[in-house]
Amino acid sequence: MPRSNSFIFSVLNALVLAASLCSPAQGADTSTAESDTVLTKLQDFTDRATELAMLAFSMIGIHYKYGGNTPENGLDCSGLVRYVFKEAWGTTLPRTSEEISRVGQRVETRDLQPGDLVFYNTLRRAFSHVGIYLGDNKFIHSPAAGGEVRIESMDVGYWKKRFNGARRISEPEQK
C-alpha cells in the first residue's frame, strides 16, 4: 500500500477511535456537566476533522492548475482549500493564499489540529502557499504545475524552511 494511503487509513482509524471515546461506556456516570462538556468538545473536534479530512482526501490525485478552483478543471493550493471549506462547511474563503492568511485565528505550531491551515513562502513572498493540516505533522495541498494534490510531511526540510504560520477557520454556527 502506498505511504499516503496508509497514512490516510491511520488518520481515519484515529478519528474512529476518538469518536468511539465520545460515546460513554454503558453504565458510566455521565451526569456531571464537566464530563459532558469534555465529551461534546471531543465529538465536535472529531466531527470537524473528519468532515474536512474526508473531503480533502478525496481530492488526492487531482491535477494542479494555476487559478483552478474545481476538481474537474484542476486546483491550485488556495483553490483546494477554498473548495474543501466551501463543500464541507459552506464557508467561502478569499481567493488567494495571502488573503486566506488573514482569515480566522492565528495558531501556534504546537497547537495545530486537523483542519487548520498551514502557510508557506514558496514564491519568495510570505503566505504564497497554503495547505490543510491533517495531524501527525502532515498536510494536504496542491503543490505546483505538473503536480497533483498530495500529502506531505511538514518535517521535510523544504517545508520547514518555508513555514510562515497557521490559522484556524471557525466552523459556522449550525442553525
Annotated catalytic residues are 77, 129, 141
Cα separation, 102 vs 86, in Å, equals 17
- Give the torsion through C-alpha atoms of 11, 47, 71, 82, to 10 deg: -110
Counting every residue, how long is the chain? 175
Judge whether 166 and 133 are in contact, CB under 8 Å.
yes
List the one residue out of 92, 38, 89, 69 whose CA is nearest residue 142. 69
Spatial CB neighbours of 28, under 8 Å, sequence gap ≥ 6: none
Q: Kindly write down the DSSP assignment for every residue of 115-172, as one continuous string.
A: T-EEEE--SSSTT-EEEEEEETTEEEE--STT-B-EEEETTSHHHHHHEEEEEEPPPP
